Structure 1
């Protein structure tokens, strides 16, 4: 840590030195007018004082200075000489406003600027409907320093989305990865979600899931969100680990609302057709301004969802597995945010977020091994309760100190995943009648009556697990900025630093029992066949009886001590990562050209500690043992990353953008962890002593992804609530990561199979992004976007070259929304599409995730101005989830979730 801080100090001093030249001119200019300089702090609202406007462009005409309104509608100009000025305000969806103000030599002017919709007959809709959300998001996108897409709080409620991930999928170039049919991880421009950076209120969010970096955004209920921004090009003041992009989540603040007190409450009931289960939801929010200086905002959400899925999988050759899931998933989300703004020059805030996610899963499975006369059947059960939690707290402040704006934040985030007392059963039976055809999306399996007779099965194994993962992130950041003059052009310099200390820990205890089952009779566990729609499943297994048997007879079961030690020690490791960063950024407005350019330096100090664990089974020398050796590794690397973002305002309606950035993404924690799980078996085969060895290993030497990114775009804003845009992007990525069998390499000579994450040679990604949003005055709305991407990746596995796409990269992504609303009714029909993508190299086959199209509906009706009812249908067409090997007819995984219907009531104050 001492070394990291020293590095950060050196980098900050370098950045400060870079700023001295422009500061000389800035100080001289400031000295001339400092004695008569004051300030302007204003707010944009409407005539009814019931909303604020974010993303408006405000120009101080006489000085040719421009700024943008913030999320609470506020704007400011500092160090303005005394005199009379003209404020010009431009906001899409409202008529331009010009307002005169006067500043004396010592005072601060606080103007309130009134905006009103262009179509006054639509005023009620703009306040509470689809047009409001679109207008806010489009205006913020228009004035952004980056190439970005935004979802406002108003827009989130216009879709049948239950969390942040599902809200983001509607944006251009974005798609989601689903778990049990529910959106969890967000991909940007078809790129793996692990290559994104996610922050909430400026705080990097750790992942509760063991081994990964990607944050499942379903932990953030929609009710806690004020805005979502996806930056597709980054600026130097942002974290560099964002090859895909950066997702910024801002939670609600009391000053985001114009009213002194606001409140909302939602009651919802849902129904899932596949499991015929009902799902309640309760949510509420409250904001209150105690005064013009102190405000508090709070939100609470609870969702209980009973559902499941029917699944069938294969290995593409000789194995088919049927799976039946029954799941109860609960979410509890809460946030309390406090803002204190004692005066014009000082602001303080406290942001908190707590989210708990629990998943009570019971999975029954039937596995058919197709080997002719030697065919076998296994019946398995998985009984586990998993809970995940994320807790964050961030405190910060902003101070205007004469010429300098100073901001800083300290934060702590903790994410845990706890899986206690997980219980697994395995029963097996030999059955020569088993046969099947795997070259179908839903494989066909045939068998005789004995296959569904539980009395023909014997208990093979019972295992019991306790798994725990914890990810903590402590950070401190500071930023300094000031306005300057570059010749006759206004500009700004900004510099700062950040320090992050992160620790990812995984602890596992596994107990595998392979005998002592005499007291267990499989027929005593049988129940009626579960409702399974993908074939003949046979009898089910009673969850409670299996749990009772284990609890009562555990002491009499035979523990496979060696296998237990192998799995437990191999799955336990600790990764630590200290990141020190510093940056310098220059902003300049040269006529119609807006430039943001600079450098960011990041130093990474990484270490990992785990175990090399080998199970030795030597029949020749009658030796059975587990050899456990502690293994540690550490690396240090740094990057100096330039970036430039340019926006050229041809006129008020037409913008051109260009960006060149360098970004990185650090490997997944599990991939880079110090662990090796090795199984070695020595036996005599036809008089010859043969040793077979297999391994699953981490790779602490993995290099981080490194990317050069180029973006070009054009945006046209016709003057009302709408935008048409087109963008080209190109990424050159080095060191991308794939999973492969590396047994043929020199390090693993003599091994039959070694699974390890490795760096690919090189990769490139290019694409075209198109979007059109239009809100018509007659109440109709259309939103359409599509992204076309193409990638090339080269990887060498077992000495063989594979030319593939990037892992988890989809060639085509698209969204279409058709909507209509009037003063009482609002409806939307949405379609989301994601084309197929390479998931992994599985042996000598490519595992592909098939294309997916989902259709959803949302309708709401205002019973009174403060009360609305809504009705949602999710996955109208019952779209399945499908993976295949090499060819679309070769099954890897097929899963169905059913449709979900939701009916709710929302009251707003």
Structure 2
């Protein structure tokens, strides 16, 4: 079967393309012309989603994300063309089409005029761009333009996404990191840049780190909740497409400079941005470059707790921790877009973006362990987390992503157009010289108050000057994770007929090759340090739990080993200590190679003036190879890593789609669809080996599963949208997903190898589940109440999801909800926009949901992500004519919402982490 796998996948792909090629040959006509151009406003900003119609032919198209449009298949003659855009006066022009020629016509729409009592600028200008694209797309999408992003106090793309209907985000150090679409976990959603899926910088997931990309580097965010056949099929929740700044219509020059302040770091922040674009050589060469730099000292106040079930079936507190984080997060982002227009029928382009985030982190942790073992059997640990002096004495985590695409757009004959692209993407994470030094006091009694409640704490004061403390750990580790992707894509589009019953065919193929490597090497220098330095660390104690620790004053301050002392230990000293490699840390290393060959057909048919149909079929053939290590301890307690060899997992998925769009009126759109999508397993889950962490009690064991199957979802969607004449809309959507083979990390207790008391984690295809949801949205100014209120407006949405596990490999059906699926999500924003002044108060809510990282057999031990309430306030003032000056200010997290997990019951805290309020202010110039 596997021998014929490649032949079968190539046969399927060639068969699909052959069918399309026949259509090209049979439908080709001579002496036809084409109309092409770009839609912009009178400030030379491109207008995506504009409708370009030749009304007497009942033929039209919609401008793309960069304002370009193409109408092929036109007989020679004179045509009246009408361009319409929500919030702008429609424009008409006569254009003469010649045989076998392409006529270029750009349309410039006026802005700043009055329409139904609304002035189209400021917030409404940004809304109009998003609304037009959303209105004219065939599938269900939510669109946010750069202008809209700028109206919210969001520093990265993850924070901007939480404003969109049906999206929840998960946080890291107070910033949104992963996005969840429509009640699905982050690994069921794809994140793409200009249509190319980004690889993940982390070793254990496929999820893209959204906090790597500054918000000001993106031109448009498109959330496709229904994917079409020409899009990658691995998008069960949806596809988040980030469109970078593309080549402009005319010269663009913007500068941003700002600062900020964090409660925890008590240090200033720095934000810088620069964008320049223009066209050269008689507009043949387009150029756009952008740079963003952010430096944000911050941190968090954290407490964590762990519970277990004792022999009597009672839930007991086993471990408690107090953590103080100090973090400096630096982002650098660079983008470049080029295009060269040879003639109206042929253009080549290049898009590239590079993002780097340096995360310098120090963590000071007090741990109370074995709390359920009884008096005199407990222990306390005090730990400093840092790095070498080269890394500021902090743990440096450097994550990088990049995507470079070379492509072309060509009109080959009178009708047939072709688009091609070749792309390279990379994501990486490096942690050089990550160090931990901890001290331990054993066989003591620790008294805990409020165990099992929201904030347990120790009433036993832990002090390094009292009791017998011993060096428990001194390690130095280096981690390198790299994922490379090569992608080659070729698409064709063939209009077959114009008019009320016009149709067109789109077809193509894509090949993707991914390779990912995780390499962690860790050495323990505890014995070597004691031999060389004894207890020299005791001369370098420092207090690092800050005053005003937000979980509460009951958490007393203590002393830690100074990070500068830890970082000052040189590599020469480490070599002299002769450390011992910690093999279990390397047991999770792996190599993975994945190849995906895809082909598709997409047919669009008009069924009269109001109804449109799209039929699609996509084939994706996946060929995966993985290799890893087993960590083995023999009878003599000798340790070694044994290579697993290479494991293969190959499969083919056929993904049909049916989409209907009913244009009831020009302002009322109804959509219905059926699609089939998938989500591939994480590389780390399919690792054929096992890793063991014996430093924990019970011993933590992870066992890979190379036979995992992809998650498959059958999706049904129905939506209706009404667009107001005064820029705004009201929308409602109903969706249902039948998800099969949902993956979880199953956690159980038992024996593994030489260890009897183990916590064993193994990925499995665990559930089949139903997911039902409703989305409601409203964007509107208050001018309909009274003209004097047109400067006030509301932007809001609400999503309800209900999931139910219908089949479980664990033999029960009592699951209340699918892991990773919140029941309620809501956003609300009140804004004022007049005379250059914009003020916005924004609120975000997500209800609690079961975490999808681990699935505990005992319901009392399952981990839940608690509900969140975020309140942000921002304001800006813009003035000037030829040069626009903008001053802005923002306050984030006014409610001081913590990140909180609970275990089993709502009041049984597992983790709570506070970030405080963050303030920002700055200045922008637009030439």
**Within 2, Cα distance between the matches of 1:182 and 1:598?**
38
- Within the candidate set 175, 182, 185, 2:175 is matched to 182
Change (3 A) 1:212 1:55: same
Deviation at 1:888, TM superposition (A): 1.1
SS of alignment partner, residue 815 of structure 2: strand
Aligned to 1:365: 365
**Within 1, Cα distance between the matches of 2:5 and 2:791?**
56
Aligned to 2:290: 299
**Within 2, Cα distance between the matches of 1:419 and 1:631?**
27
Aligned to 2:623: 605
Deviations 1:133-192 (A, max 9, x none): 110100000110211101112212111111222222111111211111101211111211
Aligned to 1:859: 875
For 1:559-638, what aligned pairs fall within 5 Å after superposition? 559-561=579-581, 564-568=582-586, 570-591=587-608, 592-616=610-634, 618=635, 623-626=637-640, 628-638=642-652
Matched, 1:381 2:384: yes
SS of alignment partner, residue 571 of structure 1: coil
For 1:64-83, what aligned pairs fall within 5 Å after superposition? 64-83=58-77
- Within the candidate set 397, 401, 409, 2:412 is matched to 401
Matched, 1:168 2:161: yes
SS of alignment partner, residue 761 of structure 1: strand
Matched, 1:419 2:431: yes
Aligned to 1:885: 903
- Within the candidate set 539, 549, 569, 1:524 is matched to 539
SS of alignment partner, residue 668 of structure 1: coil
Aligned to 1:333: 333
SS of alignment partner, residue 142 of structure 1: helix
**Within 1, Cα distance between the matches of 2:804 and 2:754?**
28
- Within the candidate set 472, 483, 494, 1:471 is matched to 483
Change (3 A) 1:513 1:192: same
Change (3 A) 1:54 1:515: same
- Within the candidate set 767, 772, 786, 1:761 is matched to 767
Contact 2:324 2:544 in 1 (8 A): no
Deviations 1:641-698 (A, max 9, x none): 10011110001011110010000000111111122125899xxxxxxxxxx9863211
Matched, 1:894 2:894: no
Deviation at 1:444, TM superposition (A): 2.4
- Within the candidate set 554, 558, 571, 2:574 is matched to 554
Aligned to 1:684: none
Contact 1:760 1:793 in 2 (8 A): no
**Within 2, Cα distance between the matches of 1:680 and 1:43?**
63
- TM-score scaled to structure 2, two decimals? 0.90
Aligned to 1:324: 324
SS of alignment partner, residue 772 of structure 1: strand
Deviation at 1:822, TM superposition (A): 1.1
For 1:744-783, what aligned pairs fall within 5 Å after superposition? 752-777=758-783, 778-783=790-795
Contact 1:497 1:583 in 2 (8 A): yes
Report which stretch shifted further, 329-338 or 104-113: 104-113
Contact 1:614 1:680 in 2 (8 A): no
Aligned to 1:687: none
Deviations 1:830-879 (A, max 9, x none): 11111111113345211101001111111101243411110011111111
For 1:342-741, what aligned pairs fall within 5 Å after superposition? 342-369=342-369, 370=371, 371-383=374-386, 384-402=395-413, 403-430=415-442, 431-448=444-461, 451=463, 453=465, 456-485=468-497, 489-516=501-528, 517=530, 519-531=534-546, 532-534=549-551, 535-549=555-569, 553-555=573-575, 557=577, 559-561=579-581, 564-568=582-586, 570-591=587-608, 592-616=610-634, 618=635, 623-626=637-640, 628-678=642-692, 695-741=701-747
Contact 1:581 1:603 in 2 (8 A): yes
Report which stretch shifted further, 730-739 or 85-94: 85-94
Unaligned stretches of 5+ residues in structure 2: 308-316, 387-394, 784-789
Change (3 A) 1:385 1:3: farther
Report which stretch shifted further, 623-632 or 478-487: 623-632
SS of alignment partner, residue 566 of structure 1: helix
Deviations 1:45-83 (A, max 9, x none): 44x453332212121111110111223433221131122
SS of alignment partner, residue 341 of structure 2: strand
Change (3 A) 1:593 1:748: farther
SS of alignment partner, residue 235 of structure 2: coil
**Within 2, Cα distance between the matches of 1:289 and 1:123?**
36
Contact 2:286 2:339 in 1 (8 A): yes
**Within 2, Cα distance between the matches of 1:822 and 1:478?**
47
For 1:213-228, what aligned pairs fall within 5 Å after superposition? 213-228=206-221
SS of alignment partner, residue 136 of structure 1: helix
Change (3 A) 1:201 1:3: farther
Change (3 A) 1:794 1:453: farther
Once superposed, what is the RMSD of the aligned Cα atoms?
2.7
Deviation at 1:130, TM superposition (A): 1.0
**Within 1, Cα distance between the matches of 2:234 and 2:304?**
35
**Within 2, Cα distance between the matches of 1:489 and 1:889?**
61
Contact 2:368 2:380 in 1 (8 A): yes
Contact 2:113 2:120 in 1 (8 A): no
Change (3 A) 1:551 1:122: farther
**Within 2, Cα distance between the matches of 1:672 and 1:540?**
40
Deviation at 1:301, TM superposition (A): 0.6
Aligned to 2:305: 314
Deviation at 1:202, TM superposition (A): 2.6
Deviations 1:233-271 (A, max 9, x none): 01000000001111111111223xx4x211111111110
Deviation at 1:436, TM superposition (A): 3.4
**Within 2, Cα distance between the matches of 1:252 and 1:357?**
20
Change (3 A) 1:679 1:301: closer
**How many matched pairs?**
880
Contact 2:767 2:809 in 1 (8 A): no
**Within 2, Cα distance between the matches of 1:877 and 1:848?**
21
Report which stretch shifted further, 799-808 or 9-18: 799-808
For 1:226-305, what aligned pairs fall within 5 Å after superposition? 226-255=219-248, 258=249, 260-290=250-280, 291-305=282-296
**Within 2, Cα distance between the matches of 1:506 and 1:454?**
42
Deviations 1:383-417 (A, max 9, x none): 11111111221100011011210111001111111
Contact 2:473 2:524 in 1 (8 A): yes
SS of alignment partner, residue 210 of structure 1: coil
Contact 2:253 2:277 in 1 (8 A): yes
Contact 1:40 1:108 in 2 (8 A): yes
Unaligned stretches of 5+ residues in structure 1: 682-691
- TM-score scaled to structure 1, two decimals? 0.92
Contact 1:8 1:582 in 2 (8 A): no
**Within 2, Cα distance between the matches of 1:217 and 1:753?**
31
Deviation at 1:488, TM superposition (A): 6.2
**Within 1, Cα distance between the matches of 2:228 and 2:63?**
20
Contact 2:302 2:913 in 1 (8 A): yes
**Within 2, Cα distance between the matches of 1:119 and 1:641?**
46
Deviation at 1:293, TM superposition (A): 1.5
Deviation at 1:474, TM superposition (A): 0.4
